[in-house]
Chain A
């Protein structure tokens, strides 16, 4: 990954930038088609978070307002949590094996022997997984609203900011896993461990807001603990705490730089 390629298109600056727009678009289209041919990834990123939300809604107690949650219901908390689940799945579970396999199988190398830089392939993958995250977020929001009457975020701008930062953090973490893993198998293994840890910190098993104080303070330092807090604050109408947004931004920056420095092209 080149510096700052978290979502940037692959067109390198320079005299040939105009001509390269064609190839980068062709790569994006081809990768989008390939992305749609992975039913496993599509299901876990796109459908599963909404399915989880629907299932949780079958628990009657989750639909009752609770005093210790400031009058909110458990199901309300699970809308941002399900969205974070989609992002973690896309970033650390789905994407790293794809990128690592592209390197392992010489696909990046083959592309290096053409006028197009192989970074175009990585950029397309990051972009597609990012788009899938946001698409899934939209679906979860709609399902929550229509099925269980979960109110839309009270502070939409803050919510969107937290959402974009969370997606960037998930993708940069995934890119770091990819940079550190020699093989697609290793990437899957590392990704799975990271996946479980991140699901916990995002509050999939126990919402961060319901965690005991000490545990919550620790979890808030992790990217998805911070994301969970920021999203929940914006959902209930206030601007997300700068400390949470700062933690997210820091994780994104550190892992983004680490991935671009350590990525091996072959």
Chain B
């Protein structure tokens, strides 16, 4: 069942459409990703969901309610972590948790929440003295403090180091396992691939693809990448035969270390091995990998260019 429905939403700033007919729906219990390059309209889209912006056209429903007209009820159902927002510099973690608890009619107990987010040691620390990761964890706690059914996390891991980022990913999975639907805005492909059940790729205000991470990767051309260093220099006719292998989309000439790269499909692998045997070439440092969501994403957003 859909808990968030976004239908043909448009938002224009100074005559420039920032969100241009975006539609998607988020099912209860899933982690739904909104992925796109900077300035694609991701944040504006979720701000319409949070009721912080009024769409010029189209409708948004959260659990059947209008986020602007029913702001009170929607904010009780939906917790938000906003991009680039802060708290009062001298407010301590404990005071922030207590203050935000007071905003909701039936808040979650902030103590276990603080423990779960590793903020117990920091309760008496002022907001300005927290590290980037600690601030983000506090904002996750504040997003969850109203015991919401949905949380919106906007660029949560931007600016975190790789370890803190991975810890945050684990947290997001735990939130979903606790029965909360997550709407995740990100520009990290790895993050979307790891966490999301489904992803809407937004580019220049439009949804250019909406699928599971695996589905998005399959759509991309050249989804299997074969790289190797041939034991002898390959001749022109050899390269032509490589290019002609089933499913091969492109062959990149050797780089400075002599590594050749083929973009193909699963079907390219066996004929490739057979061809090497026939040519009497040994493949050193042979790697066969699936393409990353990164490349699928570039592929998807480039089609539009």
Contact = CB atoms under 8 A, between A and B. Distances in A.
Contacts of B103: 23, 26, 114-116
Contact of B86 (A30, A34, A106): A106
B72 A16 contact: yes
Q: How large is the interface on B (under 10, 10 to 19, 20 to 34, 35 or more residues)?
A: 20 to 34
B161 interface: no
Interface string A194-205: 000000000000
A110 B104 contact: no
Interface stretch (B5-13, B74-82, B270-278): B74-82
Given A113-B52, A114-B104, A34 B91 contact: yes
A26 B102 contact: yes
Contacts of B169: none
B166 interface: no
A113 B99 contact: no
A26 B52 contact: no
B99 A30 contact: yes
A104 to B, nearest CB: 9
B147 to A, nearest CB: 12
A109 interface: yes
A113 B50 CA distance: 7
A30 B95 contact: yes
A107 B52 contact: no
Contacts of B86: 105-107, 110
Contact of A34 (B90, B102, B146): B90
A19 B106 CA distance: 11
A102 interface: yes
Contacts of A16: 72
Contact of A107 (B50, B75, B85, B102): B85
A110 B96 CA distance: 12
B84 interface: yes
Contacts of A25: 102
Contact of A113 (B72, B82, B84): B82
B102 A110 contact: no
23 contacts: A22-B102, A23-B102, A25-B102, A30-B88, A30-B95, A30-B98, A33-B95, A38-B90, A105-B86, A106-B82, A106-B84, A107-B85, A110-B82, A110-B142, A112-B52, A113-B50, A113-B51, A115-B72, A115-B76, A115-B103, A115-B104, A115-B146, A116-B103
Interface of B: 50-52, 71-72, 75-76, 80, 82, 84-88, 90-91, 95, 98-100, 102-105, 142, 146
Given A107-B87, A115-B76, 8 more contacts: A23-B103, A26-B103, A107-B86, A109-B85, A113-B50, A113-B82, A114-B75, A114-B100
10 closest cross-chain pairs (CB), A and B: A106-B85, A26-B102, A105-B86, A113-B80, A110-B85, A114-B103, A116-B103, A37-B90, A115-B75, A30-B99
